[in-house]
Chains A and B, each alone.
Chain A
Amino acid sequence: MVVTTDPIKQLTPPSKWILDCDVIAVTELSSDIYLMRLHGSEIANNASPGQFVNLRLGSSGGSPFLRRPFSVCRRRVADGWFEILWKVVGEGTAKMAAFKPNMTVNVIGPLGRGYHWKESLEHAILVAGGIGVAPLPFLCEELTARNKKVIAYLGAQNVEQLVMSDFFESLASETVLVTDDGSLGKKGLVTVPLINYLSHSNDLKNTAIFSCGPSGLLSAISGICDNFNVSGQVAIETIMGCGFGVCVGCPVQTRASSSDKKSFKLTCIDGPVFDTRESIV
């Protein structure tokens, strides 16, 4: 990079913003899972699937102190909105469940590196575990808009925890639902029908797996990608301090660095999407 006397001005336009976003709607999808639509044109315009936004939930110095990161679940450029999907797990997420339309939330985004694919990709396999479904609707929209064939495997503990299946059923060429207790779709692990599918596929050259979910699922996906020699990417979740690379508080050990225990990548700027060949061990 050539640096002139005024490096700020000569850099490319901003890629991330801090916006006060109006809440358009908060929808309760199940007992503890919510979808919120926020107005924020710059974020909606510039987000790519797998990227996240960081919400400020506490007042100045108040609780919770740190922002809370959420995947961009869907966006509509024409209308300037984006959505986030979350499960209530603590103070911050509970506070969000009580948000009402016309409230304002301070949001930083879009942040991180999202999913990516080659022009030659023909066939995308999306694998969700529980609330890990969050970034996949956006990815599904972008892929189908480019005429990529999408199969979605959606796994969750039970019917209550399996959300947005209608969305995938309307867009993907095939949607497979799996629950731990069999209360919806097949009973068992989401990886079982996936492995079955891959075993019966002849050519996986232009196929890629895109996943998000608990760490157990993601390491299983990494193993599956290795075994079937198929390209894969996983979106991981860690605790974050800032979300834009200055606090250095969200390290992940990568496969490449596993021999050298002292090498880390940062979830917020190197991820949250990692190639399965490099992702956490």
Chain B
Amino acid sequence: MKLSVKIGDMTLKNPVMVASGTFGYGQEASDFLDLSCLGGIITKSVTLKPRAGNPPPRICELPGGMLNSIGLANVGLERFIEEKLPFLRGLNTQLIVNIAGGVADEFGEVLERLDDESGIAAYELNFSCPNVKEGGLEFSQNANVLSRVTRKLRKITKRPLIVKLTPNVSGIGSIARAAEESGADAISAINTVLGFAVDIEQKRPRIYRGLAGYSGPAIKPIALAKVYEAAQNVNIPIIGIGGIKSGEDALEFIITGATAVQIGAANFIDPRTSEFVLQGILEYGARHGVDSIASLIGSLKPWQESN
């Protein structure tokens, strides 16, 4: 089965990537997995300045997943370039740098600086982090704001721009359309679902900041609904994310309309998950005589009224 897919000008050797914030900067998991089996690596969010992140507790386990409120802890742009990029650009997989920022100008500065660096295939714009005070969710909760920021950033780079969207909106279709119309090459859907949990003994939120992001298998139906809705509204590729842990899960997203997928929280439980997902896709392809993964994208059939 031909596995390669295209996101803008970027060709992925297969549609299975690892999601931002679940795979560090690649090196952390390199003892467990041949990273060249990945279609792409999306880095931990890079911000202009280093960020220490939120105070603990940052995570808590829930049925079918977990809450996280890391707060974009990262080494910052300069150390990313000096310490992380040399390893990442040497890998035989597409490197997609995830960028976050408090204001549009911050995204722009990071983008400009990274555009001078070789080995980066594309950028994913984190417009959807629920765990920071500024520059998080609101960028992808309002179509006008998203358009304005995306248009600005579009002028800076020729590399593919992927806009990562939040599910925490009433209609993701108009948001996805705004991304497409503003020059985004693709959208990633979804970032985490806003969640909350309470320690009833202490009468305190189980996460320091209270509100946090829910991820894991429990959010897969929500993610699929958002991908379904987005697919009705845009022609640019959609990258499906949310609770994927198997080939079957990934295929649900692809058939619904995703061109590629990202593995998120499942990497915490087993950093080899992407490899298993790819194997699962190949087995399905063999079983169904699929020539090309591209033929499965959006192949969802409506129910027909029976006569």
In the complex, B73 has a CB within 8 A of chain A: yes
Known: A246-B28, A248-B58. A18 touches B270 (CB 8 A): yes
Task: List A contacts of B34 (CB < 8 A).
Answer: 8
A18 touches which one: B60, B66, B272 (CB < 8 A)? B272
In the complex, A60 has a CB within 8 A of chain B: yes
B53 touches A7 (CB 8 A): no
Q: How far is the CA of A31 from the CA of B65 in the complex (A)?
A: 31
In the complex, A241 has a CB within 8 A of chain B: yes
Q: How far is the CA of A7 from the CA of B22 in the complex (A)?
A: 21
A16 touches B68 (CB 8 A): no
Tally B residues with Cβ within 8 Å of A: 47
Taking CB as reference atom, which chain B residue is nearest A268? Answer: B28
Interface centre among A7, A11, A56 (most CB of B within 10 A): A7
Interface of A is mostly: loop
Q: How far is the CA of A6 from the CA of B58 in the complex (A)?
A: 35
Q: How far is the CA of A244 from the CA of B269 in the complex (A)?
A: 10
A246 touches B73 (CB 8 A): no
Task: List B contacts of A252 (CB < 8 A).
Answer: 56
Binds A, one of B86-94, B175-183, B283-291: B86-94
In the complex, A101 has a CB within 8 A of chain B: no
- What 0/1 pattern do residues 266 to 297 of B give for CB contact below 8 A with A? 11111110000000000000000000000000
Interface residues of A in 14-70 (CB under 8 A from B): 14-18, 56, 58, 60-61, 63-67
Tally A residues with Cβ within 8 Å of B: 43
Smallest Cβ distance from B39 to chain A, in angstroms? Answer: 17
B66 touches A8 (CB 8 A): no
- What 0/1 pattern do residues 206 to 239 of A give for CB contact below 8 A with B? 0000000000000000000000000000000011
Q: How far is the CA of A16 from the CA of B53 in the complex (A)?
A: 27
Taking CB as reference atom, which chain B residue is nearest A251? Answer: B56
In the complex, B32 has a CB within 8 A of chain A: yes
Interface contacts beyond A65-B63, A251-B55: sample of 8 additional A-B pairs, CB < 8 Å, sorted by A: A3-B90, A14-B32, A63-B64, A65-B62, A238-B56, A247-B68, A248-B21, A264-B52
